[in-house]
Amino acid sequence: MSAKTRAASLQKVALQLDERPDPVIDRPGTLVPFFERHYRLSTGDSPTLHILHFGDSHTASDDWTGVLRYLFQNRFGNGGAGFSLAGIPFKGYRRYDVRGGASKAWEPAGLRTGAGDGFFGLAGVSISTERAGQNIYLDADCASVELDYRSSPAAAAWPFPTMA
């Protein structure tokens, strides 16, 4: 995607976020703790705030979540890229602030297809290979990384309960 197209997309999404449908927020009282935490972050009373959005195509394409991340980071400070998947776990997955890739023999599985061993993690997807010499990567500009992975199907038995 060109820089010009990306800028136009960001502007379009920002304008859509500014539109105010009626009602603006369904059950706004449920967001009081969220806004309180933002306030505490802006005054320095809270060192961090973690936001997790999952469950729809907006998280897979990073169009909407990318704009929200940009807006939050501009106002409250850059907390990093957050949760990201390595490789290319499925067609349509993309992140604007990180890059991932993999060699050819990686196979995705997940909740959408019902394939795989059922250990899909936070994203509802896993990616695996049985061929030696394969690689997968995630390139992110960050100070620290937490990596969660399983080294083999046998590793699934610990600490998880045995599957029937």
List pLDDT tens digits, range 89-119: 888 888 888 999 999 999 888 887 778 778 8
**Contacts with 97 (C-beta within 8 Å, 6 or more apart), sequence order:** 66, 69, 81, 140, 141
> What pLDDT does residue 31 have?
83
> What pLDDT does residue 163 have?
44
pLDDT at 164 over 50: no
Say if 50 falls within a structural domain: yes
Say if 68 falls within a structural domain: yes
Strand segments, DSSP code E, in 78-135 are: 98-102, 107-110, 125-128
Say if 47 falls within a structural domain: yes
> What pLDDT does residue 82 have?
85
> Per the structure block, which two tokens stand in for 112?
């959408």
Say if 64 falls within a structural domain: yes
Taking the C-alpha atoms of residue 155 and residue 61, their distance in angstroms, rounded to an integer, is 31
Say if 25 falls within a structural domain: yes
Side chain identity at 133, as an amino acid letter? G
> What pLDDT does residue 115 have?
80
Say if 81 falls within a structural domain: no
Say if 146 falls within a structural domain: no
Number of domains in the chain: 1
> What pLDDT does residue 22 have?
64
Say if 163 falls within a structural domain: no
Report pLDDT digits (tens) over 13-62: 677 666 666 666 777 788 888 888 888 888 888 777 888 876 666 667 88
For residue 28, the enclosing domain spans 3-76
